[in-house]
């Protein structure tokens, strides 16, 4: 009454099914796995799932609905995409963000996305309309590409540290470096990723 399938074959399919569901949507319940594979018994699905956990390919939270997870959190988080940063600071801009974009990140640093305006960084492969992903931090190293607030506007530049002053260098010979007074400038964060959406 019970057809025999090669060892591990069904389990592999179960793994792929569960992983897909976890990654794209919502972890499945045991019975959803059962139904997806037309098992006649819940226990069959559970057996496969538990074995996947034992093999370390899945992790689970006991007794919790939809408790199956991927063993290592993929570390994907969503960061707010800002159109522009105006006076006042990030808080307001983040509150009024355009939307959220997925970013892969190991730590739990606060981040945001910012749409780049102007051609001052084309030499570094950052074009107008590109989105930079920024990790919030008030300090950065010389040579880092940073987002800084100068007066009331936010700008993307390469940071150069001089003695007692900071310089913001464009990566485009048509633009001049900015050497702001310390009290009218603040580093908002470091650019950790650049994205360009083409289609």
Partner DNA sequence: TTGAATAACAGACAAAAGTCTGTTATACAC
Partner DNA sequence: GTGTATAACAGACTTTTGTCTGTTATTCAA
The residues that are catalytic are 120, 157
- CA 127/CA 115 separation, integer angstroms: 10
Q: Any contact of residue 21 with DNA (CB under 7 A)?
A: no
Q: Any contact of residue 153 with its own copies (CB under 8 A)?
A: no
26 binds, among DNA, its own copies, none (CB under 5 to 8 A by kind): its own copies
List 15, 21, 39, 82, residue binding DNA (CB under 7 A) = 39
Q: Any contact of residue 173 with DNA (CB under 7 A)?
A: no
Roughly how many angstroms between the first and final C-alpha of the chain, as a whole number? 53
List 23, 87, 96, 176, residue binding its own copies (CB under 8 A) = 23
47-51 contacts at long range (C-beta below 8 A, 24 or more positions apart): 48/10, 48/11, 48/14, 49/14, 49/18, 51/11
Q: Any contact of residue 25 with DNA (CB under 7 A)?
A: no
CB atoms within 10 A of CB 46: 15
192 binds, among its own copies, DNA, none (CB under 5 to 8 A by kind): its own copies
- Residue 49 in contact with residue 30, Cβ under 8 Å? yes
List 100, 151, 153, 176, residue binding its own copies (CB under 8 A) = 100
Cβ neighbours of residue 125 closer than 8 Å, sequence gap 6 or more = 194
Q: Any contact of residue 16 with DNA (CB under 7 A)?
A: no
Size of the site for its own copies (CB under 8 A): 33
Q: Which is nearer to DNA, 16 or 195 (CB)?
A: 16
Give residues 38-97 in contact with its own copies (rule: CB under 8 A).
65-66, 74, 76-78
- Residue 11 in contact with residue 51, Cβ under 8 Å? yes
Relative orientation angle of helices 9-24 and 42-54, to the nearest 10 degrees: 80
Q: Any contact of residue 41 with DNA (CB under 7 A)?
A: yes
Helix (H) or strand (E) holding 104: strand 99-104
Binding site for its own copies (CB under 8 A): 23-24, 26-27, 29, 65-66, 74, 76-78, 100-104, 122, 125-127, 130, 135, 145, 190-199
């Amino acid at each position: 009454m019970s057809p025999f399938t090669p060892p591990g074959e069904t389990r592999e399919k179960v793994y792929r099914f569960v992983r897909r569901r976890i990654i794209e949507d919502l972890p499945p319940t045991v019975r959803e796995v059962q139904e997806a594979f037309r098992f006649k018994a819940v226990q069959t699905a559970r057996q496969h799932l538990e074995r996947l956990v034992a093999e370390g390919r899945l992790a689970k939270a006991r007794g919790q609905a939809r408790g199956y997870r991927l063993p290592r959190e993929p570390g994907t988080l969503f960061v707010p995409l800002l159109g522009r940063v105006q006076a006042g600071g990030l808080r307001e801009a983040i509150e009024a963000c355009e939307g959220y974009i997925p970013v892969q990140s190991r730590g739990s640093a606060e981040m945001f996305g910012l749409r780049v305006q102007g051609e001052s960084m084309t030499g570094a492969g950052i074009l107008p309309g590109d989105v930079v992903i920024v990790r919030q931090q008030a300090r950065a190293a010389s040579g880092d590409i940073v987002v800084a607030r100068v007066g009331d506007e936010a700008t993307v530049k390469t940071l150069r540290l001089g003695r007692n002053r900071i310089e913001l260098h464009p990566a485009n010979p048509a633009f001049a470096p900015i050497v702001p007074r310390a009290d009218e400038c603040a580093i908002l964060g470091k650019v950790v990723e650049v994205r360009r959406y083409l289609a």
